Amino acid sequence: MVPTLLGRIQTRLFLLATVGPVVTLLLVPVLPGVPAGTPLGDVLTTALVVLASVAVLGIGWELLYHLLMQFRWEKDWPSLFGLLNLLNEGVLLFVLLKAGLVPGIPATPSAAAFWTHFTAVWLAVWLAANGPMRVPFIRWRFRGGRLI
Protein backbone atom coordinates (compact mmCIF):
# COMPACT_ATOMS: atom_id res chain seq x y z
CA MET A 1 0.00 0.00 0.00
CA VAL A 2 1.20 3.47 -0.81
CA PRO A 3 -0.69 5.81 1.53
CA THR A 4 -2.21 8.88 -0.03
CA LEU A 5 -1.81 12.28 1.56
CA LEU A 6 -5.43 12.28 2.73
CA GLY A 7 -5.02 8.73 4.02
CA ARG A 8 -1.95 9.60 6.06
CA ILE A 9 -3.65 12.64 7.56
CA GLN A 10 -6.80 10.67 8.41
CA THR A 11 -4.80 7.84 9.95
CA ARG A 12 -2.64 10.23 11.97
CA LEU A 13 -5.64 12.13 13.34
CA PHE A 14 -7.61 8.94 14.05
CA LEU A 15 -4.76 7.30 15.96
CA LEU A 16 -3.91 10.47 17.88
CA ALA A 17 -7.59 10.76 18.85
CA THR A 18 -7.94 7.13 19.96
CA VAL A 19 -4.59 5.66 20.98
CA GLY A 20 -3.09 9.00 22.09
CA PRO A 21 -5.54 9.78 24.92
CA VAL A 22 -5.39 6.22 26.28
CA VAL A 23 -1.59 6.32 26.50
CA THR A 24 -1.76 9.85 27.91
CA LEU A 25 -4.23 8.91 30.66
CA LEU A 26 -2.11 5.92 31.66
CA LEU A 27 1.14 7.87 31.62
CA VAL A 28 0.27 11.23 33.20
CA PRO A 29 0.23 10.04 36.84
CA VAL A 30 3.77 8.65 36.54
CA LEU A 31 5.47 11.25 34.34
CA PRO A 32 9.01 12.10 35.46
CA GLY A 33 10.09 15.67 36.01
CA VAL A 34 6.71 16.98 37.17
CA PRO A 35 7.25 19.34 40.11
CA ALA A 36 5.88 18.06 43.40
CA GLY A 37 2.52 19.53 44.27
CA THR A 38 1.49 20.17 40.66
CA PRO A 39 -2.21 19.35 40.38
CA LEU A 40 -2.84 16.23 38.32
CA GLY A 41 -5.47 18.17 36.36
CA ASP A 42 -2.86 20.68 35.19
CA VAL A 43 -0.49 17.91 34.12
CA LEU A 44 -3.31 16.15 32.24
CA THR A 45 -4.41 19.40 30.57
CA THR A 46 -0.85 20.11 29.46
CA ALA A 47 -0.44 16.56 28.12
CA LEU A 48 -3.71 16.75 26.18
CA VAL A 49 -2.79 20.14 24.71
CA VAL A 50 0.56 18.68 23.65
CA LEU A 51 -1.32 15.79 22.05
CA ALA A 52 -3.62 18.20 20.20
CA SER A 53 -0.58 20.21 19.11
CA VAL A 54 0.98 17.07 17.66
CA ALA A 55 -2.21 16.54 15.66
CA VAL A 56 -2.38 20.12 14.36
CA LEU A 57 1.32 20.35 13.53
CA GLY A 58 1.10 16.86 12.04
CA ILE A 59 -1.05 18.08 9.18
CA GLY A 60 1.70 20.51 8.20
CA TRP A 61 4.30 17.79 8.59
CA GLU A 62 2.30 15.47 6.32
CA LEU A 63 2.26 18.15 3.64
CA LEU A 64 6.03 18.50 3.91
CA TYR A 65 6.54 14.72 3.89
CA HIS A 66 4.31 14.45 0.83
CA LEU A 67 6.47 17.00 -0.98
CA LEU A 68 9.66 15.18 -0.02
CA MET A 69 8.25 11.82 -1.11
CA GLN A 70 7.75 13.15 -4.63
CA PHE A 71 11.52 12.89 -5.06
CA ARG A 72 11.55 9.18 -4.23
CA TRP A 73 11.05 6.52 -6.88
CA GLU A 74 8.14 4.74 -5.18
CA LYS A 75 6.61 7.96 -3.77
CA ASP A 76 6.72 6.49 -0.28
CA TRP A 77 9.32 5.81 2.36
CA PRO A 78 10.04 2.95 4.70
CA SER A 79 8.04 2.63 7.88
CA LEU A 80 11.23 3.19 9.85
CA PHE A 81 11.27 6.79 8.58
CA GLY A 82 7.84 7.25 10.16
CA LEU A 83 9.26 6.09 13.46
CA LEU A 84 12.32 8.33 13.19
CA ASN A 85 10.15 11.37 12.42
CA LEU A 86 9.53 11.54 16.16
CA LEU A 87 12.85 13.39 16.38
CA ASN A 88 12.08 16.31 14.08
CA GLU A 89 8.44 16.59 15.12
CA GLY A 90 9.32 16.33 18.80
CA VAL A 91 12.12 18.88 18.64
CA LEU A 92 9.91 21.41 16.84
CA LEU A 93 7.07 21.00 19.33
CA PHE A 94 9.43 21.17 22.31
CA VAL A 95 10.97 24.41 20.97
CA LEU A 96 7.48 25.87 20.43
CA LEU A 97 6.48 24.90 23.98
CA LYS A 98 9.59 26.43 25.52
CA ALA A 99 9.06 29.61 23.47
CA GLY A 100 5.51 29.87 24.82
CA LEU A 101 3.95 29.59 21.35
CA VAL A 102 1.51 26.80 22.23
CA PRO A 103 -1.69 28.24 23.72
CA GLY A 104 -3.64 26.55 26.50
CA ILE A 105 -0.68 25.22 28.47
CA PRO A 106 -1.09 25.85 32.22
CA ALA A 107 2.60 25.09 32.85
CA THR A 108 5.39 24.35 30.39
CA PRO A 109 6.37 20.70 30.87
CA SER A 110 9.87 19.70 31.84
CA ALA A 111 12.04 18.06 29.20
CA ALA A 112 11.74 14.68 30.95
CA ALA A 113 7.95 14.86 31.12
CA PHE A 114 7.61 16.06 27.53
CA TRP A 115 9.95 13.49 25.97
CA THR A 116 8.55 10.61 28.01
CA HIS A 117 4.99 11.46 27.01
CA PHE A 118 5.81 12.32 23.40
CA THR A 119 7.90 9.19 22.82
CA ALA A 120 5.38 6.85 24.46
CA VAL A 121 2.48 8.24 22.41
CA TRP A 122 4.56 8.24 19.21
CA LEU A 123 5.61 4.61 19.68
CA ALA A 124 2.06 3.52 20.51
CA VAL A 125 0.63 5.29 17.45
CA TRP A 126 3.38 3.95 15.18
CA LEU A 127 2.89 0.40 16.45
CA ALA A 128 -0.89 0.65 16.07
CA ALA A 129 -0.55 1.94 12.51
CA ASN A 130 1.82 -0.86 11.58
CA GLY A 131 -0.06 -3.69 13.23
CA PRO A 132 -3.49 -3.77 14.86
CA MET A 133 -4.88 -1.02 12.62
CA ARG A 134 -5.10 -3.57 9.81
CA VAL A 135 -7.46 -5.86 11.71
CA PRO A 136 -10.61 -3.72 12.28
CA PHE A 137 -10.02 -1.70 9.09
CA ILE A 138 -9.55 -4.47 6.54
CA ARG A 139 -9.84 -2.18 3.52
CA TRP A 140 -7.72 0.61 5.07
CA ARG A 141 -4.52 -0.44 3.35
CA PHE A 142 -6.24 -0.89 -0.01
CA ARG A 143 -7.70 2.61 0.16
CA GLY A 144 -4.39 4.40 0.59
CA GLY A 145 -4.79 4.68 4.35
CA ARG A 146 -8.11 6.52 4.11
CA LEU A 147 -10.65 5.70 6.80
CA ILE A 148 -13.60 7.58 5.28
pLDDT-wise least confident of 12-21, 28-37, 113-122: 28-37
Position 35 in a domain: no
pLDDT of the residue at 71: 87
The total of structural domains in the chain comes to 1
- Asked, for residue 118, whether it belongs to a domain, the answer is yes
Give the residue numbers spanning the domain of 121.
Answer: 5-30+40-143
- Report if residue 111 sits inside a domain: yes
**Could you tell me if 50 and 23 are in contact, meaning their C-beta atoms sit under 8 angstroms apart?**
no
pLDDT, the chain, mean? 90
Q: How large a percentage of the chain has pLDDT more than 70?
A: 95
78 is a domain residue: yes
Residue 15 domain-assigned (yes or no): yes
- What pLDDT band is residue 147 in, cutting at 50, 70 and 90? confident
Residue pLDDT, tens place only, 83-133: 999 999 999 999 999 999 999 997 789 999 999 999 999 999 999 988 888
Residue 132 CA, distance from chain mean position:
17
**CA geometry: angle 103, 52, 144, nearest 5 deg:** 145
Greater pLDDT, 107 or 142: 107
CA–CA distance from 19 to each of 22, 29, 121, 125 (Å)? 5, 17, 8, 6
In whole angstroms, what is the distance from residue 43 CA to residue 107 CA? 8
Q: Is residue 84 part of a domain?
A: yes
Q: Is 8 exposed, middle or buried (0-12, 13-18, 19+ CB in 10 A)?
A: buried
Q: CB-based burial of residue 39 (10 Å sphere; 0-12 exposed, 13-18 middle, 19+ buried)?
A: exposed
Q: Provide the pLDDT confidence category of residue 2 given band limits of 50, 70 and 90.
A: low
Helix axes 111-129, 79-98, angle to 10 degrees: 150
Q: How confident is the model at residue 139 (pLDDT cuts 50, 70, 90)?
A: confident
Contact between 33 and 111 under an 8 Å Cβ cutoff? The reply is yes
Kindly state whether residue 129 falls inside one of the protein's structural domains.
yes
pLDDT at res. 1: 54
Side chain identity at 52, as an amino acid letter?
A
In a domain, 94, yes or no: yes
pTM over 0.85, yes/no:
yes
